[in-house]
């Protein structure tokens, strides 16, 4: 899917260092490298950075589902953290499970290589 850069990047996603890897109808994949400013006190990738990566990727999947001419916002999101990340890069893949007229339900996996780091599900409102 060919979309102008300003539709897929925000100042916040750039601040984190998110990089769009794939965008198809209802699917988005975004990578994030573990940088020093993303570490928690234990020197692992901060859970808030992982959650932000999930929310950004889910939002892109929604836009890729309903079109970038409409906006959607997070209503709720639940995440399970399954393993810590000490180095390297993670990738989040988000898929729209249900695209209604008013809401979308999205599922996301965060992986490092082939290992599941976090699993999330969210609901988005179409504005």
End-to-end CA distance of the chain: 22
Helix (H) or strand (E) holding 36: none
Question: Which tokens in the block code for residue 113?
Answer: 């290589």
Q: What are phi and psi of 67, to 5 degrees?
A: 105, 145
C-beta separation of 82 from 63 below 8 A = no
Per-residue pLDDT of the chain (127 residues; tens, 9 = 90+): 778 788 889 999 999 999 999 999 999 999 999 999 999 999 999 999 999 999 999 999 999 999 999 999 999 999 999 999 999 999 999 999 999 999 999 999 999 999 999 999 999 999 9
Q: Which of 94, 118, 122 is nearest to 108 (CA)?
A: 94
Nearest-5° Cα angle at 84, 81 to 85: 120
């Amino acid at each position: 899917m060919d979309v102008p850069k300003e539709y897929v990047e925000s100042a916040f996603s750039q601040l984190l260092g998110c990089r769009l890897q794939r965008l198809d109808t209802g699917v988005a994949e975004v990578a994030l490298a573990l940088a020093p400013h993303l570490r928690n006190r234990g020197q692992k990738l901060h859970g808030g950075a992982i959650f932000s990566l999930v929310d950004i990727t889910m939002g892109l999947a929604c836009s890729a589902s309903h079109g970038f001419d409409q906006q959607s916002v997070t209503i709720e999101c639940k995440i399970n953290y399954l393993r810590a990340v000490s180095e390297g890069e993670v990738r989040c893949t988000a898929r729209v499970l249900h695209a209604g007229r008013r809401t979308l339900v999205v599922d996301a996996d965060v992986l490092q290589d082939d290992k599941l780091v976090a699993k999330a599900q969210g609901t988005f409102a179409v504005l």
